């Protein structure tokens, strides 16, 4: 039997560790964007980019798609399971995501990052403002 071996490394980070290391940017397309406080230059602005159906016509999907083309290593996918029960993010673009983050710092090739604070009891994405 042939087994496929992967050279990927997995790293789990808290939301705060992720924000410090990768520096998410504010969503300047929409003033009411979710998940505020992580862009140190614009703490009053949210960092979540949503699919157009939730973005009040601000064309956030095109903004994310452009980022994927120009800087794919700075795009992160956000998932919310069970209507906000569990939230986490992973590096890269997934068409199944509930939203996206764009960071100023790139993620490392060959590393799969998993951002989740449920394991620590610390601040979660939605609760930080």
pLDDT of 35: 81
- What is each CA distance from 43 to 46, 65, 104, 108, 110, in whole angstroms? 8, 24, 15, 26, 31
pLDDT of 63: 84
Tens of pLDDT, residue by residue over 11-26, are 999 888 999 999 999 8
Tens of pLDDT, residue by residue over 88-122, are 899 999 988 888 999 999 999 999 999 986 655 55
Average pLDDT over residues 29-34: 81
pLDDT of 112: 94
Strands (E), the chain: 9-13, 49-50, 75-81, 86-91, 99-102, 111-115
- Could you give phi then psi for residue 18, rounded to 5 degrees? -60, -45
Tens of pLDDT, residue by residue over 41-78, are 878 888 888 865 555 555 788 888 899 999 999 999 99
For the whole model, what pTM was predicted? 0.82
């Amino acid at each position: 039997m042939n087994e496929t071996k992967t050279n990927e490394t997995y790293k789990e980070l808290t939301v705060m560790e992720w924000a410090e290391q990768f520096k998410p940017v504010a969503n300047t397309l929409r003033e009411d964007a979710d998940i505020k406080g992580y862009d140190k230059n614009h703490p009053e602005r949210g960092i979540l980019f949503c699919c157009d159906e939730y973005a009040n016509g601000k064309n956030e999907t095109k903004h994310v798609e452009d980022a994927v083309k120009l800087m794919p290593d700075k795009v992160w996918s956000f998932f919310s399971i069970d209507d906000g029960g569990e939230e986490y993010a992973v590096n890269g673009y997934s068409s199944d995501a509930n939203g996206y983050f764009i960071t100023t710092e790139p993620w490392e090739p060959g590393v799969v990052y998993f951002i989740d604070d449920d394991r620590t009891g610390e601040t979660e994405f939605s609760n930080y403002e």
